[in-house]
Structure 1
C-alpha cells in the first residue's frame, strides 16, 4: 500500500505521534522520508523481511522504497514520534544529506539503538523539530528546517563511515546526477520540459538518471516537476491576488483541469480553498 503524504505546514516537514496497533497491519510505503523515535512502550518494527525489537529511545530510518510497519506489544503499547519530510527539501539544500536514505534494504540496518552515541545525537533534533512545528513561534519554519538539516548531517557523518569505497562512489555519483537534473528542472519547470531533453543535455542515459532520481528522491521525474509547479502556485496563491488561472499557466501547467486535479491531489484542497485558508480573498 502506498500512502499519499500531505504536509501541515508551508514547509514539507511533518511531526506527529502515533501508537501502532497490537496486531501486525499491512505494510506501506510513501515517497517521503521518515525517522521514527520510540518514546514509550515496546513492540516491533518491520521492514520487508527484517524485524527489529523496539524499545524507548530507539530510532528507525525509513526511505522512500522500503515497505514498513510498526506493531505494539499488547502489554506495553509503544508510542512513536515520527518526523516525515520530503526528499526535495534536502535536495535543494545539500544533496549529500540524502545518502543515508539511499540504502539497499537487504544490506541496511534501519535500527539505531536507544542510548547509543548516534541516538543521543539525533534525539534532541527530533524533539526540536516537533516542538517548533507544534509551537509555531516566530521563525519556526526556518528553525524546523535547520534542525532537520542538523539531524540529517549527523546521519550522513555516521553512515558515510560504514560504506565501502565502491558503495560510496556509486551513491555519490547517483546523487550528483540527481542534483544536476534537479538544478535544470528548477530553472525550467515553468515551461515545457522533458526528461529526454535534460538527460541528453547532461550527457546521461534517460533510464539511468530516471532510476537514480526515483531511488534518491522517491519521485518520478514528472511527479517532481508537478511538485515544483504546485509549490510555486501555493506561493502565488498565498502571496498575491493574481487570478487562479493566471497562476496555473504562469507556473507551468498547460490546462486548468490538470492544475486543479494535481493541486487537490497534492495539497488536499482546491486552489481557491487553499487561498482562503491563507487569509487571501479573491
Structure 2
C-alpha cells in the first residue's frame, strides 16, 4: 500500500494544532508526519490502523501516534467516527522536560496505541485535550501559554502511566537516555545560532557520534540537523513578528549560513517564506537593498 510522509505546519506561534476530522469510509493510504499526535474519538465507530495493527474505535477512545509510525483511521459507513486530533512538535516537550517524550518513544510492534474509553488514563487526559482545543479556537488573552501548559499536564499524565508499566531495567535504560538527551538539547539550545555539528556536541559530552545520533532521534523523532533547523526557524519566527530587523539579518542571526538555506528551511517548516510570514502578520517592513 502507498504511504505518505506529511509535513505539519502550525497555525500559532506555539507548535500545537487542534482540529476535528471525520475519516473516510474507505481505507486511505497510511501516512506518518513530523509531529507527535493524539486522537480522541468524539462519536461514531470505525477502525484505526497502525502499520499491521488495527483497533476497533468507539466514542471516548484515545490514540497515541509518534512521528515514525504509519497510521490511518477509517469510519464505519453506518456510524462514521468523528475525532478531535492534536498535533504538536517534540521540541515543545524537549525544551520543557525530555522525559515527557518517553510515552512517544515506543517500538511499534509491542506497543498499544489505544487508551480505552472509560479507563482512568483516558479520563485523566481527555479534559486536557479539550482544553487545548478550546484555547486554540477561542484565542483569548494568554491562550498560547494555557494551551502549552495543558499539553505539558497531559503528557505528564502519560509519562506517569507509561513509567509504571515499564520494568526496572527498562526504566533505568530510558532514564540514562533521557539524561543524555537533555544534555544534548541544552547544548543545542545554547549554540544553535552558531555553526555546530553533532560531532562537536558528542565530543563535548564525551559520547560517540553514533550514540548521540541514536539517542537524539529515538527521543525527538528528528535527526540532529533537522532539530537545529527547527530551533533556528522558531527563533526567526519570533524575530520576524517582534522586531523590525531585515529578513536577511534575521536569517544570519539565527544561525543560517546562507539566505537560500534560510528561505528553503523556513518554508519547509512553516509553509510560507519569511517575507510572506511577516506579511500575514500585517507587518510591512521594507527590505534594504
1:154 to 151, 154, 157: 157
Give, in angstroms, the shift of residue 279 of structure 1.
Answer: 2.3
Measure the CA separation in 1 of the matches of 2:210 and 2:34.
Answer: 20
- 1:80-119 equivalence runs, <5 A: 80-119=83-122
2:263 corresponds to 1:264: no
- TM normalised by structure 1 equals 0.98
Aligned partner (choices 11, 14, 22) of residue 8 of structure 1 = 11
Match of 1:25 among 10, 23, 28: 28
Answer with 114-123 or 128-137: which moved more: 114-123
TM-score, normalising length: structure 2? 0.96
Partner secondary structure for residue 11 of structure 2 = coil
Q: Does residue 57 of structure 1 match 2:60?
A: yes
Does residue 176 in structure 1 map to residue 179 in structure 2?
Answer: yes
The alpha-carbon deviation at position 64 of structure 1 amounts to 1.3
Correspondence 1:187-198 to 2 at 5 A? 187-198=190-201
Conserved? CA contact 1:37–1:82, under 8 Å: yes
Residue equivalent to 1:202: 205
Instruction: Supply the distance in 1 between the matched residues of 2:212 and 2:73 (Cα, whole angstroms).
Output: 33
Unaligned runs of 5+ in 2: none
**1:65, 1:215 within 8 Å by CA — same for their partners in 2?**
no
Q: 1:244 aligns with which of 241, 244, 247?
A: 247
Matched, 1:164 2:167: yes
Matched, 1:228 2:256: no
**Is 1:70 matched up with 2:73?**
yes
Q: Secondary structure at the match of 2:30?
A: coil
Structure-2 separation of matches of 1:211 and 1:130: 33
**Large movers: runs of 4+ above 6 Å:** none
C-alpha distance in 1, partners of 2:49/2:219?
22
Where 1:28 maps in the other structure, the secondary structure is strand
